[in-house]
A and B are shown apart, each in its own frame.
Chain A
Amino acid sequence: MWQFFHKLGSPKWFYGIANRFMPWFLWGGLILLGAGLVWGLAFAPKDYLQGNSYRIIFIHVPAAFLAQSVYLMMASAALVTLVWRMKLADVFVKAIAPVGLILTFLSLFTGAVWGKPTWGTWWVWDARLTSMLILLFLYGGVIALDKAINDEKSAARAVAVLVLVGVVNIPIIKYSVDWWNTLHQPATFKLTEKPSMPMEMWVPLLLSVLGLYLLFGWLACIRMKTEILTRERRTRWVRELVLAGRK
């Protein structure tokens, strides 16, 4: 168990594992996301109430879902950074914060464009939308704080604390649609209940969520590899790796 834990913390070990998984993440993700989006755009039936504008959910829901789950992953890594000082956890946080930022932006943007024909407005200051905007600022704050501190270890600790404080926002996003009267509809995706939408809509949505998850896995791997290379460029294993001409 401890040996496994130490291995997991070793950047060199991670580098090898990432190389093995990345093609699966990339191609699996592209195929699943592509299938989900084409199905959702062209083949899924029209929504009887919202018309065709509902087709935006095939990107809005995956982006919003990932934006929150990326934050939770980041928070778990931040906890590991603080408790065990594991280098790899900090590398993970730094590598995925920009990905989370873009996913959050995409979910806000697609939500706004969907809101115009459906609600008649681009934006309302209701609980769900506002808490999602706060998530965007949290991601931005994490990136800015990391850039502002030069010392690697202090930056890691400060960023981890900020990430953990921001976790309080996640349940607020999740339950905002139940706690307050919001314009936003309740959760589309529930793991515990049967889907409330017909199968022809639900399956493509599931495909695009899974596809985006895999692409996120690929992004996390390649960005972590870059960060590891930058940090460990003076070590022997990086030297050997580079000289061997492998990626």
Chain B
Amino acid sequence: MAFDSLSAFIAMEGHGPYVWTCYAVFVIFLAGLMIGSARRNRAVLEACKRGIEQQGSTTGTRPKAAATFTRVDVSQH
């Protein structure tokens, strides 16, 4: 250890606030970026899964509903 005690380690001869602020900000940003990226990856994967399941349930297993014709008013001018 370069320091005699824990309090000396925290104080760092007056430079403590500067050093610890830097390390805290660094860790928060890096961890935030990593956790955020991992979460987004999982969210996108889930969305893909949901999309495929929906697709499967509409086109695959269930037969397509018969087409229905309804009168639609379309202006001709």
Tell me if B49 and A43 are in contact (CB < 8 A).
no
**Does B23 make an interface contact (CB < 8 A)?**
yes
The answer to whether A117 and B18 touch (CB under 8 A), given A109-B25, A222-B37, is yes
Q: Are A110 and B25 in contact (CB under 8 A)?
A: yes
The answer on a CB contact under 8 Å between A106 and B29 is yes
For B14, the chain A residues whose CB sits under 8 A away are 51, 117
The B contact surface, by secondary structure, is helix
Contact at B29–A102, with CB atoms within 8 Å? yes
The answer to whether B37 touches A55, judged by C-beta atoms less than 8 angstroms apart, is no
**Nearest chain A CB to B54's CB is how many angstroms away?**
12
A59 to B25, CA, bound (A): 10
8 A Cβ contacts from A198-243 to B: 215, 218-219, 222-223, 225-226, 229-230, 233, 238-239, 242-243
Shortest Cβ distance from residue A122 to the other chain B in the assembled complex, whole angstroms: 11
Chain A-chain B contacts (Cβ-Cβ < 8 Å), number = 92
One digit per residue, 1 when the CB lies within 8 angstroms of any chain A CB and 0 when it does not, for chain B 24-39 equals 0110011001100110
Q: How many residues from A make CB contacts under 8 Å with B?
A: 41
* B25 near A55: Cβ-Cβ < 8 Å: no
State whether A215 touches B34 (Cβ < 8 A).
Answer: yes
Known: A42-B3, A247-B45. A113 touches B34 (CB 8 A): no
Of the candidates B19, B22, B41, B48, which one forms a contact with A222 in the assembled complex, judged by CB atoms under 8 Å apart?
A: B41
Closest to A234 in B: B51
Chain B contact residues, CB within 8 Å of chain A: 1-3, 9, 12-16, 18-19, 21-23, 25-26, 29-30, 33-34, 37-38, 40-41, 44-45, 47-49, 51-52
Which A residues form the contact surface with B (CB < 8 A)?
A: 37, 41-46, 51-53, 55-56, 59-60, 63, 98-99, 102, 105-106, 109-110, 113-114, 116-117, 215, 218-219, 222-223, 225-226, 229-230, 233, 238-239, 242-243, 247
